[in-house]
Amino acid sequence: MIIGIDDTDSIDGMCTTYLLAVLIGKLNAFGHLKDYPLLVRLNPNIKYKTRGNAALAMDIELNDRNASQKVRDLVIDIVERMAVLSEENTNPGIVFIENSTDSMKNDLSKFSMGAVRDVLEIREAMEILNRHDISHKGFKNERGLIGALAAAGFALCGLPDHTYELIAYREQKNWGSSREIDPGSVYAADAATHPDTWDTVDIENQRIVFAPHSPDPILFGIRGNSEEAVRRAFSMIKSEPVERYVVYKTNQNTDMHLIKAKIHEVKEDRSYILEGIVGKSPKTIIGGHIIFKLSENDTSIECIAFEPTKGFRRIIRELRAGDEVKVFGSVKDRTLNLEKIKIDRLNMQELRNPMCCDKRMKSMGKEQGYRCEKCGAIKQEQELETLQRKISAGFYEVPPCARRHLSKPLARFPLRQEGA
């Protein structure tokens, strides 16, 4: 039986991954997991998300096929008791898949990927649930059925790429208090396991980034390429007592949300890989954000590196008109929020006002040439000069403290050529 669950989170503390962790323990009496439980990050731009827009699923092999109704009842009871149904944006959904057909797999494969890359409606989930007579339970406006069905679909059809995350949970008496984690042990664990683990610490900004600051049950989460790697890091970390932990298979850090497209094809609230030419030098706007225009043929889009991306902005600031780049990120209000950039070719030449008497000549007006303020000499044309660039062609990414759940770190790029 595949069980998919979504939208039990709460800004006041409840977390869907914790609910599933508790449920896994209770379901041991009915069977065993056939594979790792799945943690699926959906479209990060959805306005209804509580925090990270994660849905969960697990595939359990029942000891007794006649126990399926008891399992469904138990899952529904746990969600009813643990989800904060009084919160407006908490609208849980549960999906149960016991039998599948090729037609169901085909529908779910498309639907699940759509939940990561597109904007889906509740009616689309309901159409599939009803078409294939899939057992389900929705609460309130039933929006959680979208994520629950998507996660169940990935459990049925598989993830095209995956990583692992070990999530450790706090004892309930500590929820809402400051987390007690020994910083030295975290840096040591990162040094011993990177690049097989990542986003545990942010070296450049001297931050520990694997522990949340919200009052939810999570103590910390360790991400990596294998169960072995995340368990090794976990064994080295000294912290307050851990109530329980779970190793999840996940689509985090896979770039699964990104769609390769042309600029004119861009839609709001989706994420893209776009290529084009930098229109003119980037500018700094209020708040310390850096913005530039990317053009392709007759269309263009603004790209922005927000202030929380810290040192990444230094790279964006050095771009110049004529640079050929690929950008990776999510689109909101016709602006792409940069997650990564690949500089394919740097423009090494630029038209500039002529030099005279060791200074730039001043324009005398449109199509009137240039005059030297010191000696009065006049020249009619700008001159093509070779630029001294402070950056090189290649991939650049935001720091771990600013990385989104789905964004693939360069540590996972074979020879840093993937995505080219």
Q: Which residue has the tokens 């294998």?
A: 226
CATH of 163-250 among 2.50.20.10, 3.90.600.20, 3.40.50.20, 3.30.310.10 = 3.90.600.20
- pLDDT tens digits, 305-362: 999 999 999 999 999 999 999 999 999 999 999 999 999 999 999 888 999 999 999 9
Domain with CATH 3.90.600.20 in the chain: 163-250
Tell me, letter by letter, the H, E, C secondary structure of 238-271: CECCEEEEEEEEECCCCCCCEEECCHHHCCCCCE
Reply yes or no on domain 2-157 having CATH 3.90.1150.10. Answer: no
How many CB atoms lie under 10 A from the CB of residue 20? 28
Per-residue pLDDT at 48: 81
Q: Which residues of the chain have pLDDT under 70?
A: 50-51, 415-420
Per-residue pLDDT at 419: 46
The pair of three-digit structure tokens given for residue 364, joined into one six-digit string: 């005398």
Per-residue pLDDT at 52: 75
Per-residue pLDDT at 341: 98
Class at the top of the CATH hierarchy for domain 258-348+388-416 = mainly beta
Domain with CATH 2.40.50.1010 in the chain: 258-348+388-416
pTM of the model: 0.92
Q: Which residue has the tokens 């908490």?
A: 90
Separation of alpha carbons 147 and 38, rounded Å: 12
Separation of alpha carbons 82 and 186, rounded Å: 31
Per-residue pLDDT at 84: 87
Per-residue pLDDT at 415: 54
Domain with CATH 3.30.70.2200 in the chain: 2-157
